[in-house]
Structure 1
Amino acid sequence: MGYSIFHNLQIKASSKDVFDAVSQPEHLNNWWTLKSSGKPELNSEYNLNFTDDYNWFCKVSKVINNASFHLKMTEADKDWEPTTFGFNLEQTENGTLVKFSHVNWPENNHHFKHSSFCWAMLLNGLKNYLEKGVIVPFEDRN
């Protein structure tokens, strides 16, 4: 069963803009990864590179244009490997409600808790990126 991280946040942007920001490598690099590659198509492989020591791979496990995007880890840190993370998007009057999940963590350990904190910070970075055009330099991201 495992442990799960959930975060909901409102972003003043269209669901298409949010979808692009969480699925397109050129956008991921502006708020999360150092460099990434992949296409938002079912079973497409993504490379999420943070440093030479953190060069991870995953596959698209669910994709609905402008509504849902989930990645299943295939090669990563031991704690991350069994996990899947993703974004479900709902258009609202004020933009998009982002329902983030990162599920199937094997242990409720330090890494799980630290990753939950990091996701909250990164999702706030995603919000600032989409609402204000803020790009935090990679080395300044937590």
Structure 2
Amino acid sequence: MGFTIYQDLVVKTNKPNVFEAISNPTILEKWWPLKCSGQPEVGATYNFNFTDEYDWYAVVASCKTNDHIHYKMTKSDVDWNPTTFGFDLETHKHGTQLKFWHKDWPECNDHFKHSSFCWALLLKGLKDYLEKGIVIPFEERS
């Protein structure tokens, strides 16, 4: 049994805008990786590049436009490699309920705990981007 990170938040915009921000590489770059490529379709490969040292890859395990996208890591580091993370979207009276999860962590170690904290910060950055147009420079996303 692995460990799982969960984060839920409401974003004051519609599901298509949120889906675009979690699946379109150009918009992903505004709140998560330095560089990104990929297509939101099952089996497609995404490249999440943070630096030359952290040039990671994932495959889209499941995707339904404006509903969800789930990424299975294929090339990252020892702790991230067995993991899958996903974004599930639901309509909410104030916009969109984003239900994030990152499962199959092998250990509840320092890296797991740090990643949990980082996901919270990054998802706040996603929310601020979608609601206020704020883009945090890559060097300040930690």
The TM-score range, normalised by the shorter chain, is over 0.9
Q: Tell me the equivalent position of 1:133.
A: 133
* 1:28-67 alignment runs, 5 A limit: 28-67=28-67
* 1:1-16 alignment runs, 5 A limit: 1-16=1-16
Query: Which 5+ residue runs of structure 1 have no aligned equivalent?
Result: none
- TM-score normalised by length of structure 2: 0.99
Q: Tell me the equivalent position of 1:23.
A: 23
The whole-number CA distance in structure 1 between the counterparts of 2:8 and 2:136 is: 21
Q: Which amino acid aligns with 2:8?
A: N
Aligned length, in residue pairs:
142
Q: CA deviation at 1:49?
A: 0.1
Q: Which amino acid aligns with 2:96?
A: T
Q: Secondary structure at the match of 1:30?
A: coil
Query: Which 5+ residue runs of structure 2 have no aligned equivalent?
Result: none
Q: Secondary structure at the match of 2:19?
A: helix
* 1:82-93 alignment runs, 5 A limit: 82-93=82-93
Q: Which amino acid aligns with 2:124?
A: N
Segments of 4+ moved more than 2 angstroms: none
The whole-number CA distance in structure 2 between the counterparts of 1:67 and 1:6 is: 18
Q: Which amino acid aligns with 1:34?
A: L
Q: CA deviation at 1:91?
A: 1.1
Q: Secondary structure at the match of 2:119?
A: helix
The whole-number CA distance in structure 2 between the counterparts of 1:121 and 1:26 is: 19
